[in-house]
Amino acid sequence: MAFVTLDAVHVCIDTAKCQGHGRCAIIAPDVFDVDDSGKGRVLVDLCSGKFRAAAEEAEFSCPETAITIASSSI
């Protein structure tokens, strides 16, 4: 049996790149939302476990590559 540890990561959105597609908020609604101008915004800066997995999926799915995920151990 193998265990995968999903250590916490920092999540951010580059609002200059974000075009407001909203995929992040659809894929990971516990991590992302959309602000009044239609741009993505981070609800949970430090994500681990299922939140990290959802944030990583949103990062992969962002057509503008506006989402950045970085190790929290920097």
Domain ranges of the chain: 9-71
Helix or strand or coil: residue 68? strand
pLDDT at 62: 97
| pTM for the predicted model, two decimal places | 0.86
pLDDT at 72: 73
Per-residue pLDDT of the chain (74 residues; tens, 9 = 90+): 544 556 899 999 999 999 999 999 999 999 999 999 999 999 998 999 889 999 999 999 999 999 999 987 65
Contact 50, 13 (CB under 8 A): no
pLDDT at 71: 86
- 3.40.50.150, 3.50.50.60, 3.30.70.20, 3.60.130.10: CATH of 9-71: 3.30.70.20
